[in-house]
């Protein structure tokens, strides 16, 4: 069990990442930058530009770890530094696993084991994606199912769960 697990949920452009970053910085110990585990994969120019902008935004405030698939392993490495770890975001990670046709159940189980093993505060960012109309294509529906299921599972084990809208937090738990 990590010292403390916080799940930050929200929609696109809800301010969830900024809120989660503030939580991770607030939990940091003096002299050690918190870790930032980024899961975004630059599949096109638009994504590459977003990733570069986000990296510049957190320059000097976080030690960055990048991973697109092996989140459990990266969480273990990031946590070994002894500072809080922020993972942004789980929903992109699920997307990556689907795009690369990985075994999602196995990857989620490994990530769960890593969460059990680490001893630093962990802040997880995830998108809420199930509140629009049913998507046309089966892939998007499966993605929505996988993302929603992971959110439920992590919310059940987190001490604190927040839902962010327009930059403001609603406390779902803790």
Q: Fill in the per-residue mask, 87 to 126: x = in contact with its own copies (CB under 8 A), - = not in contact.
A: ---------------------------------------x
Q: Please, what is the minimum distance in Å from the beta carbon of residue 155 to its own copies? A: 4
Q: Is residue 53 a contact residue for its own copies (CB under 8 A)? A: no
In the annotation, is 54 catalytic? Answer: yes
Helix (H, G, I), strand (E, B) or coil at 34: coil
7 binds its own copies (CB under 8 A): yes
Distance of alpha carbon 151 from its chain centroid, rounded?
Answer: 10
Greatest alpha-carbon pair distance for the chain in Å reads: 49
3 or 170: whose CB is closer to its own copies? 170
Cα–Cα dist 149/107, whole Å: 14
User: One of 54, 76, 81, 149 is an active-site residue; which one?
Assistant: 54
**Alpha-carbon dihedral 23, 112, 2, 92, rounded to 10 degrees:** -10
Q: Which residues pair with 36 in a beta bridge?
A: 64, 86
Binding characters for its own copies, 149-168, by CB under 8 A (x = yes) = x-xx-xxx----x-x-xxxx
Tell me which residue of 29, 152, 144 sits closest to 95, measured CA to CA: 144
Q: Does 77 bind its own copies (CB under 8 A)?
A: no
Q: Is 72 annotated as a binding residue?
A: no
From residue 19, give the alpha-carbon distance in Å to each of 10, 33, 35, 73, 88. 10, 17, 15, 25, 11
> Residues annotated in the binding site for GTP, as ranges?
10-17, 38-40, 55-58, 66, 88
By CB under 8 A, name the binding residues for its own copies. Answer: 7, 9-15, 46, 126, 128-135, 138, 140-141, 143-145, 147-149, 151-152, 154-156, 161, 163, 165-168, 170, 172-173
């Amino acid at each position: 069990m990590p010292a403390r697990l916080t799940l930050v949920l929200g929609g696109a452009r809800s301010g969830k990442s900024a809120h989660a970053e503030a939580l991770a910085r607030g939990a940091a110990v003096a002299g050690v930058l918190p870790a930032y585990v980024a899961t975004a994969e630059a599949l096109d120019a638009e994504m590459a530009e977003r990733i570069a902008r986000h990296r510049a935004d957190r320059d000097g405030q976080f030690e960055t770890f990048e991973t697109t698939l092996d989140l459990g392993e990266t969480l273990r490495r990031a946590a070994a530094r002894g500072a809080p770890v922020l993972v942004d975001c789980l929903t992109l990670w699920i997307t990556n696993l689907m795009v690369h046709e990985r075994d999602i159940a196995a990857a989620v189980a490994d990530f769960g084991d890593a969460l059990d093993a680490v001893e630093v505060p962990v802040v997880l960012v995830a998108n809420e994606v199930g509140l629009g109309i049913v998507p046309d294509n089966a892939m998007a529906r499966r993605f929505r199912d996988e993302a929603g299921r992971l959110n439920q599972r992590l919310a059940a084990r987190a001490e604190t769960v927040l839902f962010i809208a327009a930059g403001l937090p609603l406390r779902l738990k803790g």
